[in-house]
A and B are shown apart, each in its own frame.
Chain A
């Protein structure tokens, strides 16, 4: 209980810092910009960590997250294509990219009667490379949109919310939160499936249906998130581990605390990205700087 209160307090501190810290003085215009960043940070960080928690549970692999599975890169490819074709973010293309790459990776790792869990990561990394090359082609062809796509690749919370994209962003956030609430119903299944798919099937879980629902929904969530803030890596990897260290293995707690911790982490990372250099860095740079050593630590363990 005290731990829960502690992480809520830290979360509030992260919000406060996100609003107060920055290179310019706070006036009403800056306040509005910072508020929208904080909202996007909570939403994106929370969802990415939540998806990481879901996917690590589903696949029983501690290294799985939207980024290492390739679905974040797929979403970035879809979103870049949207910018190139329509000059605007395109959640549907991002979702299709995320889903397409996700399914491809899933198919590569699938064998009869199971899933090769190591191959999942390998396939994810390979597909990420492919997506990056395709994005490069789009950038070269696009020219003018180059800068926008660059930030999309690394993740950026500072997009300016205006009359044209406000409705869409609010809708996306609402859909995402609805999906998160819906997916919470699977906390028991996630606990059980960590003991193997046979045990899960023996206890009455319809593995195929459950995997499809979780996989499809997390691809949708990642696609929506990436289409707004870009492909931010490693939040989904680190946070579920931190959450399990703090709160134990049960998913009824971890899904919620992962969301909260992910939001907190991304807010801190965003604040840091604004003060670390004279120019704003994409927030994904900061999360990767923290995430890569963590990934190596997990892999070596």
Chain B
């Protein structure tokens, strides 16, 4: 049984087709990269997979059960979503932000208990943000903030983590730390799907890739087979050089 499985998904706004008959799955323990050019439908697909958007046609299954027959709360106990960039209109402390990850487990008026605090400690520890615990969230750099958002996602104790371009505004150091963190979480058993537009980063870290182009799946498979000159020419319309990474032995693209 797959962690997530999408069958013949159609999605459109008004008459603009965004997702055109996509079937895909995220198997257990997978580290999947969803790649493709701007406007291909990658982010939309991610939102469909976690139930923020509802497909117009098709079905999504979460561990074998129809996603849309489950409450949003139950979904949030299984899937955590990390948006591209979070704007914090209110300046909560880092610990408060991470604690919000416990929302799906709380009833109205039910105070946080030991279990919540244990989960929060564990999450802050995993994402390496404990040292910021009392800092106001807006005093952190964007890379540090992204780690806090991931910690909040981990506090949900999810089995699946979906991330939308988690490194897109970050410098080299933070790109590295975030991707290493995701790799570690994946090794601990969390299934991960991450939308990337940085093909080299996706190639370095993802076990498998799905390439979405114009709302359809163009190709899927291991980075080594998928990233080639012909694909880049057809999808991105440019000529590139592709070499193998000297240490990790995965393809890297040079402009």
Chain A residues packing against B (C-beta within 8 Å):
60, 112-113, 184-186, 188, 191-192, 194-196, 198-199, 201-206, 244, 248-250
Task: Decide if B76 is an interface residue (CB 8 Å cutoff).
Answer: yes
Task: Decide if B208 is an interface residue (CB 8 Å cutoff).
Answer: no
The smallest C-beta distance from B227 to any residue of chain A, in angstroms, reads 30
- Please, could you name 15 A-B residue pairs with CB atoms under 8 Å apart, sorted by A? A60-B89, A191-B100, A195-B86, A195-B97, A196-B87, A198-B52, A199-B86, A202-B52, A203-B100, A203-B103, A204-B77, A204-B103, A204-B104, A249-B90, A250-B92
- Docked-complex contact A191 and B92, CB < 8 angstroms: yes
The 10 closest A-B pairs by CB, nearest first: A204-B76, A202-B81, A185-B108, A249-B90, A204-B104, A204-B73, A194-B90, A194-B89, A204-B72, A201-B52
- Docked-complex contact B90 and A202, CB < 8 angstroms: no
Bound CA–CA A88/B185 (angstroms): 66
Task: Decide if B176 is an interface residue (CB 8 Å cutoff).
Answer: no
A-contact 0/1 string along B68-95, CB 8 Å cutoff: 0001111111011101001111111000
- Docked-complex contact B72 and A205, CB < 8 angstroms: yes
Look across to chain A and name the residue whose beta carbon is closest to the beta carbon of B73. A204
A-contact 0/1 string along B208-245, CB 8 Å cutoff: 00000000000000000000000000000000000000
CB neighbours (8 Å) of A184 from chain B are 109
Name B32-79 residues within 8 Å CB distance of A. Answer: 47, 50-52, 71-77, 79
- Docked-complex contact B89 and A204, CB < 8 angstroms: no
- Docked-complex contact A250 and B96, CB < 8 angstroms: yes
- Docked-complex contact B83 and A198, CB < 8 angstroms: yes
Bound CA–CA A248/B95 (angstroms): 14
* Chain A interface SS verdict (over half): loop
Partner of A112, one of B13, B73, B88, B108: B13
Task: Decide if B156 is an interface residue (CB 8 Å cutoff).
Answer: yes
Task: Decide if B101 is an interface residue (CB 8 Å cutoff).
Answer: yes
Q: Which has the most chain A C-beta neighbours within 10 Å: B14, B72, B77?
A: B72
CB neighbours (8 Å) of A249 from chain B are 90-92
Task: Please give 11 more A-B residue pairs, beta carbons under 8 A apart, in addition to A201-B52, A202-B80, A250-B96.
Answer: A188-B103, A188-B108, A191-B100, A194-B90, A195-B100, A196-B86, A202-B76, A203-B101, A203-B103, A204-B71, A204-B73
CB neighbours (8 Å) of A185 from chain B are 108-109
The smallest C-beta distance from A75 to any residue of chain B, in angstroms, reads 27
Look across to chain B and name the residue whose beta carbon is closest to the beta carbon of A62. B89
- Docked-complex contact B103 and A192, CB < 8 angstroms: yes
Look across to chain A and name the residue whose beta carbon is closest to the beta carbon of B75. A204
Task: Decide if B106 is an interface residue (CB 8 Å cutoff).
Answer: yes
Look across to chain A and name the residue whose beta carbon is closest to the beta carbon of B81. A202
CB neighbours (8 Å) of B103 from chain A are 188, 192, 203-205
The smallest C-beta distance from A206 to any residue of chain B, in angstroms, reads 6
- Docked-complex contact A192 and B90, CB < 8 angstroms: no
Bound CA–CA A232/B221 (angstroms): 64
CB neighbours (8 Å) of B47 from chain A are 198
CB neighbours (8 Å) of B14 from chain A are 112
Look across to chain B and name the residue whose beta carbon is closest to the beta carbon of A203. B103
Q: Which has the most chain B C-beta neighbours within 10 Å: A60, A191, A203, A205?
A: A203
Look across to chain A and name the residue whose beta carbon is closest to the beta carbon of B90. A249
- Docked-complex contact B13 and A198, CB < 8 angstroms: no
The smallest C-beta distance from B188 to any residue of chain A, in angstroms, reads 21
Bound CA–CA A60/B108 (angstroms): 21
Bound CA–CA A201/B71 (angstroms): 11
- Docked-complex contact A202 and B13, CB < 8 angstroms: no
CB neighbours (8 Å) of A188 from chain B are 100, 103, 106, 108
A-contact 0/1 string along B135-177, CB 8 Å cutoff: 0000000000000000000001000000000000000000000
Look across to chain A and name the residue whose beta carbon is closest to the beta carbon of B103. A203
- Docked-complex contact A201 and B100, CB < 8 angstroms: no
Q: Given A185-B108, A198-B52, A250-B92, A192 and B87 touching (CB < 8 A)?
A: no
Look across to chain B and name the residue whose beta carbon is closest to the beta carbon of A249. B90
CB neighbours (8 Å) of A192 from chain B are 100, 103
CB neighbours (8 Å) of B86 from chain A are 195-196, 199
CB neighbours (8 Å) of B74 from chain A are 204
CB neighbours (8 Å) of B72 from chain A are 201, 204-206
- Docked-complex contact B104 and A191, CB < 8 angstroms: no
Name B95-138 residues within 8 Å CB distance of A. Answer: 96-97, 100-101, 103-104, 106, 108-109
